[in-house]
Each structure stands twice: as C-alpha cells, then as structure tokens.
Structure 1
Amino acid sequence: MQAFIAARKVGTARPPQTNTDGPSSGGSFAMEKFATALEMVTEMKPEGPVFAARPHAAGRAARWFIKNFPGEVAYAYKANSSVFLLGALYGAGITQFDVASVAELEDAATIPGVRLHFMHPVKSRYAIRRAYFDYDIKCFALDTEEELQKIVEETEGAKDLELFVRISVPAKNSRVPLEHKFGVTGQKAQRLLVKTRQVADELGITFHVGSQTTTPDAYGMAFEEAKKLIVKAGVVVDAIDIGGGFPSRYTDSVPARLSDFIDVIKASMAKMPVTEHCRLICEPGRALVAEAESLIVKVDLRKSGNQLFINDGGYGALFDSAHMGFVFPVRLIREGLDPNEPLEPFEFWGPTCDSIDRMKGPFMLPRSVREGDYIEIGNIGAYGRALATRFNGYGQYADVILQDEPMYSIYAEELAPVARNA
C-alpha cells in the first residue's frame, strides 16, 4: 500500500480531495490507522467530518470478483478514487479501469501497468484525441452514429479500435435506473452495430442494468436484448461488457447474493450467439468499494426531539441519502455506551444553509444521542466521496484508515461457507 501511494504521488494529475491545513479540519491526520472508530475519535476529537477507509474490505471485494466473475473485471473509477481504496483494489489484482472523463483518465494513468476503458458514450473531440494519442486508449463506448464518426475522425481512422455499442436495457429492481440517458435500441442499434463493425478491430456490446440492482434476473433480461440485436444485425461480436449495477448492502436494501448474479450471468453468456473467444467484461464500482469506507460525523445540535444537525450532509458525502433516499447503517460512537439502550429513529440535517440538506432516514440510534456525540455512517464508499462539494465552505475531510469490519458486508454471506469448512 505504501509503495502504491508513493508511486501515485509522483504522477498524480490532480490534488487530493481531502484538506491538509491542520487539526481544525482534521487534514493533518491523513493516513493514520486506528483499530476502531471509537479509538479514532478518542484520540483525534475531530471537528470536521472524517472519511474512514477500510482498504482490506475493498481488497476482499476485488479478490471475490476476480475469483468468481467469468471474465475480466474493470473498476468503475467514478465510484471512488481514494488512493487508499485504489491501492487495495490494485493490490488485489484489479488492473483495468473504466474512466469517463479526461481528468479521470489522467489520474488513473498514473497507476503502473493499467488498461483503461473510456466508456462514457458521449465524449468531446478533445477527450477522444487525448485518450487515443496521449494515453494509448483503444477502447471507447458509443451509442450514436455521430459519436462513431467523431471517434473515427479524431483517431485519424485508426485500425486498432475496440468499440462498444451501448444498448438500452430494462432497469429492473435498480435503485438508480440508467436507461434513459444512454443506450440505443431497435433498428438504430442494429444499424449502429453494422457500421461500427466496419471500422472496429474489435466490436463489443455494452449495457448497464442500473445502479444498485437487487435481483439477478435484470442481467438475464439484458443479455436477451443483446442476443436479439446481435442476431438481427448479423455481426460478429468480440466482447460483451455488462457494465456495473452489482449491489451493496444498506439498511433499506437487502439484495440477492452476489453468487446468484454470477450464476445468471454465466448461464446467459452460454446462450449468446458469439464465439468461445468472446471476451466478457464487468465494471463494478459500488460492489467493490461501498462497504470499504465510512463517514464519521459530529452532532452539532439535537433539535425538536429526533432531528440531528451534523457536520456533513447532502452537499457532502451524503448526497445519496439526501437525494436518492439511501438509508445507510449508523452507530453511535461513545465511550461506555450501554449496548442495551433502546434505539429510536432519527433524521439528519446537514451543515449548509439550504433546507433541502436533509437526510430523512430513518437512522436508528440510541435515544440518548446528544450534541458533541460522534456517529459512524457506514457503507458510503460508493459515490460518497466523489459527490461531495464545497458548498457554503464545507466539504473538507480528514482521511484515516480503520482496521475493523464494515457494519454491513455483502461478502460475509458469500465467504461464510468457506469459514465453516476451514
């Protein structure tokens, strides 16, 4: 991990997202390790919010995917670009990354020996040129003939392109449907596949079933749509990229086992009209890092019974809770806390002056929670850090590493049989 971080510091293309100005914001404590969140708050007594990473959880998730997914695993960089978690993923064997912008590809390119996929279906001409000529990226996604033409022109008619046509598939039981903005269907998809086949060295199909998809049949339906289009277009497909969508565990979301998803994907792939050499790729983000990071916040005020005003919120790492309704697991961090104290539902209010900065939960906490207490908000590793802003002057975080286990782990059930047979 230390070697990875040192190598990244040499070539990092953009500054880290954490503050390093001093103890008032907690920035000077970056990279300190603690056994638990209680140990951390007892020693640091942070005034600002703290990102508490568990790299071992990210490494465990990566190893599970590499072992169980029947193809290549590329991490969705947008989910979390923390150097601590990237180092854990890389150390576990993740060397392919899905990037969606020039800033992401510049940052990811500093990781030794990586292979990058530029899978955003709409890119600027500048981004295409930089990706191909400066970073040797051959792999691009598209969902229109106009985008295909841009790629051909800006790579100067390159003959070594790996082009993936993004198709639209139904979003079944996903928390964040993604089929409306990107993806092509029907005769347009057939025509685009034929035209892309004519210029691509490798032709691929890609889709996304939606973020936090809780049932495996969503992938089965997506494969069926891809199968129909391949047959109707009459093209040879060299690769299928099933995107992300794999779920994590939250208080209000208990998805199927990840192994059930893998079973459906294997069975569906076996029925596809492709050769045995066709590559299968996935791009998990949430499932690899969600449980690998927590947010530690401080209670500034308890108001009107069960309203807690905390020092981070919807303009910070809790965007998904404020705007998407995610209910993250929480626990009160206090020395001598009675483990048998009854829990009550609370709602959170963020530190900004905006009235929409509200996380309604409910978040179950001991009834005695009060001003000055610290709360760990778990499983925010996916998109929490990435979506934080500096609105109202907030958005500064310390970084620490915790060595205990996440509050929820979707991998615990997967690994339980191994533990029982050990």
Structure 2
Amino acid sequence: MHYFAFKRNTLYCENTRIKKLAEGFGTPLYVYSERTIREHYNKIKKAFKEVKPLICYSVKANSNLSILKIIKSLGGGLDIVSGGELYRAKAVKCRPEKIVYASVGKSEAEIKDALKYGILMFNVESAAELERINSACIKMKKKAKVSLRFNPDVEPGTHTYITTGKKETKFGLDEGSLKKIFLESKRYKSIVLCGIHIHIGSQITTSHPFLKALKKVSGIVKYLRTKNIAIDYLNIGGGLGIVYGEEKPQTAADFAKKVLPLIKPLSLKLIIEPGRFIVGNAGVLVAKVLYIKDTKSKRFIIVDAAMNDLIRPSLYDAYHTIVGVDKVKGPPGRSSDIVGPVCESGDFLGKDRPLKVKEGDYIAVLGAGAYGFSMSSNYNSRPRPAEVLVKNNKTTLVRKRENYKDLIEKEV
C-alpha cells in the first residue's frame, strides 16, 4: 500500500500534485510520502506485536535524516553498517540502546565510535572482527554485546548481488565456526556473546527461505543450551520484498504468521531490520522528458534523470513501474526505452515501455524510496537531486539539490 495515486488524471503524493512539486523544486526530484512510511512501519509492529520486537530500520535503504526522525518518532531503532550511518543516528538523537551495527568490514575507528556511543550490540561476521572488537574494548575499558551473524546457506530467490545467506558470499559464519566461537567465548574477556543474527538477502517475496534459515537457527540455539550457553537475542534481519511490477510478495502479517511458530518457542528477544519494506514504495523519482528520439529499431524517451540518480535498473536489471505524471487519453504510446543523459549504454530507467509522453512532460519512477538516493552518485559530474517529504498537502524540502559548486568544493 502506498499513497501515490491518480486523481483527475494527474499523479498525487497524498494530497499534493506531483506536477506542482516538479515545477516548484525542479527535476530530477525524489518525493517521499510520510503516511506510507508510517503505515508500513506500523504494519510490521502490528504483525509481530505478541513478541514486542525491537524494529531497527535499515539506514542504508534511505538514510535521509527526516526519514530517520520519522522512524524514531514511531519508537523504532536503527540498523547501521558504517561510521557515517552512526553519525546520522547520533544526528537524530537515536537512543544508543536501539542501535545495532552490522557490516563485514568495521574499522577500528568505527568500532571505537560505536563503543563510545554505547550501542546495543554489534552483529559480528568473523572471528577476526570479534578479536578486533575485544581488543578495542580492553583499550577503552568497556564491554560489548555481540550477536554472531550466521550464514545458513539458503537460497533466497533474489538477485545474486543482494543474496547474502549463501555459503559463497562474504557474509556471516558457517554453523561450525559459529558454534566454535560460542564454545570458546571465555577467551573474549570484554565481549558478551548474547545473540544470533541472520540476514539472508533483500527483496525476498516468499517466507520459505526464512523458514529454512530459522529451522537451522533453532537447532543451534538448542545445541548451545545443552552446553549451558544461553543467549538473549535473535535478530532475523530484513529482506521483505515489495511490489515493483508483477511481484506478489507476502504481507507483514503473512510473514509473521509463518515465522512466529519457529521464533516464539526459543523465548528470545526479537530484533527485525526492515528497510525496503518501509520506504521502498514510499518514494518516487520524478524526471522531465528532454527529447523523444526515434530510430529505425527503437524509440528512446530521454529524461533528465539517469543511472547516477537511480542505479537499480542498470546495476540489478531491476524493474520499476514508470508512469506519465499526467494521464493522456487514447491508446498506449509506442514501446520505448526510458534513458538518461549519462554516457553509458547501460544508463536506463526502463526498457520497452508503452509510455505516451512528449517533450516537457514529467514522468514518475515508482518504488524508488529504497536504494534510490542512498545509492546515487555524481557520475558524469551530475549534481544529485533534491528530496522532498510530503505529509498530506504539506511539502518539506528535506535535501537541497546539489549544484556545480558542490561537485568541486572538496577538491584542490
């Protein structure tokens, strides 16, 4: 569910016309719906209410401070993966006991910053990382809570680049290595090993991979208890898929109904790390049509947004629904590729779309709220877009558009 819809043949975000935003703020432009963000968060909260989870929003999905503030206002925590994301968490005054820190490559400086802030726990991915955290704790005379990330070697049925729970990926520990660390936990004098973490991938549309992974986790927890090793937390990560085109992903309620029978008997505190599920369909990328180019083999709709603004189609061959901001009567337009100005043949937002637009019209790329701006770049020396947040009929500029001066201000 989201709050982007056509009213009187023009696209709205909640009660605000997209065309008015494009004309007022310029394009390319990211537009976010606050109501959608709040409702998606609350759907997860409601689905898992009987176990009262800590919902740690995945900052990497969309790290805009205004969105983080919404999550905080709802009582949520944050899942961070870098020192920069910790800095953002501090900026919005997220309570440290609601922050979990993942990433296979935490630097010593990042570890120390997190220890100083007093985060809830680190999700640790290797024995070497655990040694590094233990060493930092000794130097700082602190203790650190740690969940070990388990790699269950399950196929999540998603794109290879966002598959993170297979044995050939860089993520997590295999079962033998994980058990060994728990059994030797007394070696780590400044570490409190208190949980198991899994995150098997992103844009997963079925519960089956989660169930397979959780059955393995359940076996590990039971094994550890036979060795008198008790843990307090189970972090099941994120990865719930959304609708980009023809997908039919599970709802939060369906997902909870399937996984809770495996989670509840373990009697552990539950942590969930949703990102895309909360913000994916809460955002669109608006662009202006610059040219229509007809060739003998294909029609190209050239717009002012490009792969540097939204890289998912180019990187993952991801599908996003694309619509004209104003509906045009009559039959569909000629099948066209929607492309940007970047000097790459891989610079496209969509291919073979029957989009009926003309020069000067606006288009909207739907489902762009997650991994859109957060993965954007200045490739081809293109300034990054502005971002606006809509609440009913009120619009707030939550990130100013970059200019050419911004592109070179750090250079010498």
State the TM bucket, normalised to the shorter chain: 0.7 to 0.9
Aligned to 1:168: 151
Gaps of 5+ in 2: 1-12, 394-412
Q: Indicate the percent of aligned positions where both proteins have the same amino acid.
A: 23
Distance across 2 between alignment mates of 1:397 and 1:271: 47
1:124 positional shift? 0.9
SS at match of 1:173: coil
CA distance in 1, matches of 2:200, 2:46: 22
The aligned residue for residue 364 of structure 2 is: 376
What secondary structure is seen at the aligned counterpart in 2 of 1:211? coil
Query: In structure 2, what is the equivalent of residue 299 of structure 1?
Result: 289
For structure 1, the 5+ residue unaligned runs are 1-31, 406-422
Partner of 1:320: 312
Cα deviation code 1:217-255 (max 9, x no counterpart): 121111112123334444322111011101111114221
Aligned to 1:177: 163
Using a 3 Å threshold, how does the CA distance of structure 1 residues 362 and 108 change in structure 2: closer, same or farther? farther
2:141 corresponds to 1:155: no
* Alignment partner of 1:226 is 2:205: no
The structural deviation recorded for 1:203 is 1.3
Equivalences for residues 8-407 of structure 1 within 5 A: 35-41=16-22, 43-44=23-24, 46=26, 48-69=27-48, 70=51, 71-94=53-76, 96-114=77-95, 115-133=98-116, 135-156=117-138, 160-169=143-152, 170-175=154-159, 176-179=162-165, 180-196=169-185, 199=188, 200-233=191-224, 234=227, 235-272=229-266, 276=267, 278-304=268-294, 305-316=298-309, 318-334=310-326, 337-342=327-332, 344-366=334-356, 369-402=357-390
Measure, in 2, the Cα distance between the counterparts of 1:320 and 1:51.
Answer: 15
Q: Is the 8 A contact 2:146 2:193 kept in 1?
A: yes
Q: How has the CA–CA distance of structure 1 residues 362 and 89 changed in structure 2, closer, same or farther, with 3 Å as cutoff?
A: farther
**In structure 1, C-alpha distance between the alignment counterparts of 2:354 and 2:200, rounded to whole Å:** 31
Q: 1:208–1:344: structure 2 CA closer, same or farther, 3 Å change rule?
A: farther
Separation of aligned partners in 2, 1:252 and 1:62: 23
The Cα shift of 1:344 comes to 5.0
For 1:51 and 1:142, the matched residues in 2 are separated by: 34
Give CA deviations for 1:138-165 in whole Å, capped at 9, x if unaligned.
4111122111111100111756422011
Whole-angstrom distance in 1 between the partners of 2:392 and 2:158? 30
Distance 1:160 1:45 in 2: 48
Matched positions, count: 361
Deviation, structure 1 residue 332: 0.5
Give the 3-state SS of the residue equivalent to 1:212 in structure 2.
Answer: coil
